[in-house]
Amino acid sequence: MPLNASLRNSGLDFHSLYTSPISVKCLLALDSEKLINPMSASNTRGITQSRVDVLVVGQGIAGSWLAYQLMGRGWNVHIVDAAHQGSSSLVAAGIINPITGKRIAKSWQLDAVYKPAIAAYQALEQAFGQRYIHPCKLIRLYKNDEDKKRAEARFEDVDYTHWMHPLSKEAMPAVLKKREGFAIDGAAWVDMPALLESFKKHFQRQDALRTDTFNHTDLNFTEGSIAWQDTCYKWVIFCEGHATVHNPLFSWLPFKPAKGEILSLQTPTAADLEGALINAGPWCLPINKDTVKVGATYSWDPLDCLPTELGKTKLLEDYNKLIPGAVTGTVVEHKAGIRPSTRDARPFIGFHPKHPALGIFNGFGSKGALLTPYYSTHFADVLMGCVSLDPEVNINRYDTPHAPC
């Protein structure tokens, strides 16, 4: 099976209208033009209005998708963001990898979230007139014989036939002829900086984005609404990424943030990879014929967004082990960010146990590109009262005896 059919191999119709099955009830109650085109004039609301439906705190990948979905339902939305300071979304490579981990298993909720995610990015490309999602080959290299045995067992599993297949040495890029591995179908990467910049401009056109530092103590609770600065809101939803550990209202949740560093290298090896994302734990992603991204490290002390020489050295070592004989070239960019990971590797979505008008939409970790389009649709439907919140992501799965007032 040729690798250049990586997305087609899944048998999914990626050009269909982006609608999640979970939102069918809400579709019946909506003007379809508003849902499909959140840029319609009826959704343009000024930030000077005194009463607004929702305040979204944070304009990373989670906050941007949620705000966009709510606007698409005709809601009046404001977003506040401190100019993406410390945003891990801007650092992330935006990789969508259907098959992950030591167990070579389908990514959590893959069958539910994958098709809506691909279609959502394609719909956004049509709406904004810019490309964000880049389908790519993905070659997972075998680490050892046990790894190979696990993969071979998956090849015989009907649940995996659309997502992975054996790869002959002849099908490998020339620089990897001495390595063995298999192909993962349906992989892609999302240009996160371009995506967030387009969202930002869209929100600015709607006069909905305020660049400001949000202080949680500035919230005032009134009957039937929450006031912040000069505006009252029905809901306030926190999409603060790793910064939520400093949010006194939700800091009780068991976040497990992890720092990650990524390098961008200008190297002729980018062309040698023939467009294939190479993964063996560490990964190497060609983003054009001259540049690859290499990632990513995991560290927990200190938890800051500062690139380190130690991280750079580790990434260069990983790159040379991943692709023996590869040309290192020139380091053109070195970034660090903090993943908003959680203890159980599931997102944190839901409402404060004592203040139900306060919500959280967070904790997508390294899978934000895959999970946020689907779950932003789902949470928007929850806020509209159309569906119940998925218990697997609901924060009420944790005891809250010490949740602050």
* Each residue's pLDDT tens digit, 84-100: 666 789 999 999 999 99
pLDDT, tens only, 353-402? 999 999 999 999 999 999 999 999 999 999 999 999 999 999 999 986 55
pLDDT, tens only, 287-298? 999 999 999 999
> What number does CATH give the domain 137-186+258-339?
3.30.9.10
Over residues 308-335, the mean pLDDT reads 95
Average pLDDT across the chain, whole number: 88
CATH superfamily entry for domain 17-36+45-136+187-253+343-405 = FAD/NAD(P)-binding domain (3.50.50.60)
- Write phi, then psi, for 208 (nearest 5 degrees): -115, -10
CA proximity to 359, closest of 347, 341, 346: 347
DSSP class of 394:
B
Which residue matches tokens 């250049």?
A: 4
Distances from the Cα of 149 to the Cαs of 98, 107, 164, 170, 405, in angstroms? 19, 19, 14, 20, 52
Boundaries of every domain in the chain: 17-36+45-136+187-253+343-405, 137-186+258-339
pLDDT of 7 > 60? The answer is: no
First to last CA, the chain: 57
CA proximity to 241, closest of 130, 342, 95: 342
**Quick one: pLDDT at residue 45?**
41
> What global pTM score does this model have?
0.89
pLDDT, tens only, 152-186? 999 999 999 999 999 998 999 999 988 999 999 99
CA proximity to 60, closest of 241, 215, 188, 250: 241
Confidence band (pLDDT; 50, 70, 90) for 40? very low
135: its two tokens:
């389908």
How big is the chain by its Cα radius of gyration, in Å?
Answer: 22
Q: Assign residue 306 a region: left if phi > 0, alpha if psi is -120 to 50, beta otherwise?
A: beta
CB-based contact 239:66 (threshold 8 Å): yes
**Quick one: pLDDT at residue 86?**
66
pLDDT > 90: percent of the chain: 80
**Quick one: pLDDT at residue 224?**
80
182: its two tokens:
């298999």
337: its two tokens:
């960010």
- Write phi, then psi, for 248 (nearest 5 degrees): -65, -15
**Quick one: pLDDT at residue 274?**
94
